[in-house]
Amino acid sequence: MTVLDDARAMSDDLVELRHRLHQHPEIGLDLPWTQEQVLAAIDGLPLEVTTGSDVSSVTAVLRGGAGSGGRAVLLRGDMDALPVQERTGLDYAATGATMHACGHDLHTTMMVGAARLLAARRDELHGDVVLMFQPGEEGYDGAGHMVKAGVLDAAGTTVEAALALHVTSSFLPQGMFATRGGPVMSAADVLRVTVRGAGGHGSAPHRAKDPIPAACEMVTALQTMATRRFDVFDPVVVTIGAFHAGTAHNVIPDDATFEATLRSFSPEAHVRLLEETVRICRGIAAAHGLEVDAEATELYPVTVNSATEVDAFASVVEQVHGDGKFIELPNPLTGSEDFCRVLDRVPGTMAFLGACLPDRDLMTAPYNHSPEAAFDDAVLPDGAAVYAEWALHRLQRP
Ligand SMILES: [Zn+2]
Ligand SMILES: [Zn+2]
């Protein structure tokens, strides 16, 4: 029996667990119910299990039995959901105000599958495996919390490589693995701006200090900056997602505020984008004689894969699933990931796994985070097997 055969043999169990998780989505860093399900699902396996003290994480260490002590690798699966109201119409759909719209219920389940597969092959493991079940991926930096709490050293030695899989509800064919060496997901930052003027009568702007035209100028100047100040081959994205000012057509307000998401794909562009956006807002405010509070806050840096690790991952995928199941992405994705906290410290791979429902069109199927995003259970054993095989292989590498 291959690892994949074993994974397929536990398919029904995995589907049942995934549906259960799907029906009880929890968001943020505190996922008590989900944590309980994970602990129950890995209960009885020969694992050293610890839970987070400030977040609902689960760290499980499997000790290899085939010698080469002092080596360890890490598998990451995130467990949190989103504040989205599900509209998939599936019979196991969540009914409240939260939803596993990013497929993290599949990641949690595939990690449980991998734990079982590896525990059964413990004697073939040339080192230890750290299973990182993390909360709070969706904007709460759960990975950062776990890294600070020492997950990379959970086996007593720092892990030498790490792998995270992420399902997609469209764009990748079902069962297809995809990633690239180098930057694979963007850095994400937030720009927050408050332009401070002086309110007055709409008919007499010369007696007031109108913050609105200056704030509008900032919005367009930021778009100009994105194309004039950054290399077209190292691009950035600036999207103003919120803009608020004023209460009535004939009243000049005291201030105007807006917020933007900033995305970049190289550490250099990341640093410069934080500086330039603030400089532009301050410059425009000064030109109009207005005060401004402009602050760019870093959320997540760029997620960068090791090229060597990606090559090794691709050969594991082909060994498990045969030729043609791995594609190299031509470009990074514009989303962001807190797995960057792990890949900032150890080499590894963040890879995507296509989980589009067979009756949906790849190109038009609702994408992750949509209330209609749906993920195919059929990929659960595929992902579990790749997690497990990768750990077995990576610990054999000299
Ligand atoms: Zn997400
Ligand atoms: Zn996600």
CB atoms within 10 A of CB 142: 27
Residues contacting 105, CB < 8 A, separation 6+: 18, 21, 22, 25, 79, 81
In contact, 254 and 196? CB cutoff 8 Å: yes
34 CA distance to ligand 2 middle (Å)? 16
232 CA distance to ligand 2 middle (Å)? 27
397 CA distance to ligand 2 middle (Å)? 29
- Three-state DSSP state, 18: helix
**What is the rounded CA–CA span in Å between residue 351 and residue 164?**
6
Q: Ligand nearest 352 Cα, by number?
A: 2
**What is the rounded CA–CA span in Å between residue 349 and residue 181?**
8
99 CA distance to ligand 2 middle (Å)? 12
- Three-state DSSP state, 63: coil
Q: Ligand nearest 78 Cα, by number?
A: 2
Residues contacting 162, CB < 8 A, separation 6+: 73, 74, 75, 76, 339, 342, 343, 346, 347, 348, 349
Which residues are near ligand 1, the ion (C-beta closer than 5 Å)? Answer: 102
The rounded radius of gyration (Å) of the Cα atoms in the chain is: 24
138 CA distance to ligand 2 middle (Å)? 7
368 CA distance to ligand 1 middle (Å)? 6
Q: Ligand nearest 79 Cα, by number?
A: 2
Q: Please give the structure tokens belonging to residue 131.
A: 């299973």
203 CA distance to ligand 1 middle (Å)? 47
Residue 291: C-alpha distances to residues 131, 207, 374 (Å):
50, 16, 47
Segments of the chain scoring below 50 in pLDDT: none
| Closest-CA residue to 21 (of 39, 32, 37) | 37
**What is the rounded CA–CA span in Å between residue 46 and residue 51?**
16
Q: For residue 357, what pLDDT is reported?
A: 96
Q: Ligand nearest 139 Cα, by number?
A: 1
78 CA distance to ligand 1 middle (Å)? 10
pTM, full prediction: 0.91
98 CA distance to ligand 2 middle (Å)? 14
Q: Ligand nearest 138 Cα, by number?
A: 1
**What is the rounded CA–CA span in Å between residue 62 and residue 33?**
23
CB atoms within 10 A of CB 48: 14
Q: For residue 68, what pLDDT is reported?
A: 63
Q: Ligand nearest 188 Cα, by number?
A: 1
In contact, 242 and 258? CB cutoff 8 Å: yes
82 CA distance to ligand 1 middle (Å)? 8
- For 283, the enclosing helix (H) or strand (E) is helix 267-287
Residue type, 377: D
200 CA distance to ligand 1 middle (Å)? 43
Return the residue matching tokens 């963007």. 186
353 CA distance to ligand 1 middle (Å)? 14
Residue type, 369: H
Q: For residue 65, what pLDDT is reported?
A: 87
Q: For residue 66, what pLDDT is reported?
A: 80
259 CA distance to ligand 2 middle (Å)? 23
270 CA distance to ligand 1 middle (Å)? 21
Question: CA quadruple 286, 289, 290, 291: dihedral positive or negative?
Answer: positive
Q: What is the pLDDT of residues 141-158, one digit of tens each?
A: 999 999 999 999 999 999
Q: For residue 398, what pLDDT is reported?
A: 81
Q: Ligand nearest 367 Cα, by number?
A: 1
248 CA distance to ligand 1 middle (Å)? 37
Burial environment of residue 287 by CB neighbours within 10 A (0 to 12, 13 to 18, 19 or more)? exposed
Residue 336 DSSP symbol: -
